[in-house]
Structure 1
Amino acid sequence: MQQAGTESTAKLGGEASKARLRLWLRLLKRTRGVETVLRDRLRTDFQTTLPRFDVMAALARSEAGLKMSALSGVLRVSNGNITGIVDRLVKDGIAIRVQVPEDRRASLVRLTRKGAEEFARQAEAHEAWVSELLSDFPADEAEALAAHLKTGCIGEEPE
């Protein structure tokens, strides 16, 4: 992929530039549509929110737990956005805070057994919904597009 300032941006208004703009707008529209359906289904089927699901997903990937700063970094949101969600997860018995022995000011957040089980249920449904919503893409095309978006875009997401 070309970097900013090279051929990819040199001919603004040209055919390639317009095609990329249309691609971006279509990706954005489809992403918002999928997110809307996922939000509605999480709320209806699990009485939860997409941000809460995202926090649980990040915690599920880290058995040892995550510091709040690491959690907000993974999700690319502020600590303030995460604090309220984590507080509710702790109150509901889905997550716990564990003191970091070498830093008394810091704590790790991790899923409880109940939280891990609940997340597994939600993640299974989430995967099925996404598969249904993107079923027009054969597996090989989905893999190819995912690979291209991973390597061909600025601001690459960590795995």
Structure 2
Amino acid sequence: MSNLSKRRLKAWIRLLGVTRGAEAHLRDYLRRNHETTLPRFDVMAALYRRREGVTMSELSRMLLVSNGNATAVVDRLEKDGLVRRQPVATDRRTVKVALTPAGQAAFETQAAGHEAEVDRLFSGLSEADLDALTEILKRMGARE
């Protein structure tokens, strides 16, 4: 294995560690400060972006999870009054899910806190650091 190959492997391990650490921190933050979970937050974020609602299949694709996982989270959010399901008039087998007004308000509060927490996590990075990191990640994403 070349020296460059070893350095790339170390960079990957460091990137993974930072990602996992930040995700664990945000999971804990959401649980403690908003009494919610990261999967619930992710579902609400997807629905917030698509206010008109989405089918369960669309939601699963947006989140890169199985229909079963998305359904379980939506069931709990519906029970809490944060989302509603509506049958699609043209296809009775298809159901759209959307945030309720209470869900929109709850998400806006959670999202503001989440953004502030991410800002805190990244506070050690300057604008130049962020520009460089963004450029590097874009280049890596373009290689896939």
TM bucket, shorter chain: over 0.9
Aligned to 1:80: 68
Amino acid at match of 1:113: P
State the alpha-carbon separation in 1 of the partners of residues 127 and 49 from structure 2: 24
Aligned to 1:122: 110
- For the pair 1:97 / 2:56, whether they are aligned, the reply is no
Q: Which runs of 5+ in 2 are unaligned?
A: none
Q: Cα deviations across residues 104-124 of structure 1 (Å, max 9, x unaligned)?
A: 101111111110110000000
The Cα shift of 1:28 comes to 0.6
Aligned to 2:119: 131
Q: Secondary structure at the match of 2:52?
A: coil
Q: Secondary structure at the match of 2:141?
A: coil
Aligned to 2:13: 25
1:4-23 counterparts in 2 under 5 A?
Answer: 13-23=1-11
The Cα shift of 1:155 comes to 8.0
Which one has the bigger helix percentage? 2
Q: Cα deviations across residues 48-92 of structure 1 (Å, max 9, x unaligned)?
A: 001100110111110111111111111111111111110011111
TM-score (norm 1): 0.85
Instruction: Summarize the Cα distance change of 1:147–1:111 in structure 2 as closer, same or farther, 3 Å threshold.
Output: farther
The Cα shift of 1:143 comes to 3.4
Q: Cα deviations across residues 118-153 of structure 1 (Å, max 9, x unaligned)?
A: 000000000000110111111332233224313423
Instruction: Summarize the Cα distance change of 1:36–1:117 in structure 2 as closer, same or farther, 3 Å threshold.
Output: same
Aligned to 1:51: 39
Q: Secondary structure at the match of 2:81?
A: coil
The Cα shift of 1:154 comes to 6.1
Amino acid at match of 1:17: S
Instruction: Summarize the Cα distance change of 1:60–1:143 in structure 2 as closer, same or farther, 3 Å threshold.
Output: farther
Q: Which runs of 5+ in 1 are unaligned?
A: 1-12
State the alpha-carbon separation in 2 of the partners of residues 155 and 125 from structure 1: 33
Instruction: Summarize the Cα distance change of 1:93–1:143 in structure 2 as closer, same or farther, 3 Å threshold.
Output: farther
- For the pair 1:61 / 2:54, whether they are aligned, the reply is no
